[in-house]
Amino acid sequence: MLVSTMNDVPGQEIARVFGEVAGLTVRSRSFGSNFSAGFRSLGGGEIPEYTQLLYQSRHEAIMRMCQHAMSFGANAVIAMRFDCNEIAGTMSEVAAYGTAVLLKPSA
């Protein structure tokens, strides 16, 4: 499954548009990572516990979006974007969304 942030794919043409697809995940930060991240935040800089959480969340959201696209028969998602929000100060919501399409090589 090709996933692109572009609106088209060089060398390919859009044979069919299936429409918007999305994948969503909500993750809770564990007590342990909140505790250690709290200490790290005092000194400034990157907080690896949260970085890893967001990478995992984005990956899971993309995989769910791809499953949604494949259920329509799509072989690609174009114009893919992320949306992230915090819920109740302890959870992170990550959504991946885009347009499911069927691509074929340009003539």
pLDDT tens for residues 1-54?
A: 999 999 999 999 999 999 999 999 998 865 455 555 555 555 667 888 788 888
What is the pLDDT, as a whole number, of residue 60?
97
For position 25, which CATH number holds? Answer: 3.30.110.70
Q: Are 98 and 81 spatial neighbours (Cβ–Cβ below 8 Å)?
A: yes
Q: What is the C-alpha to C-alpha distance for residues 96 and 94, in angstroms, rounded to an integer?
A: 7
More confident residue, 72 or 43: 72
Q: Total domain count for the chain?
A: 1
**Mean of pLDDT values over 65-85:** 97
Chain-centroid distance, C-alpha 100 = 14
Q: What is the C-alpha to C-alpha distance for residues 106 and 2, in angstroms, rounded to an integer?
A: 16
User: Containing domain of residue 37, as a range?
Assistant: 2-105
Lookup result for tokens 């949306």: 83
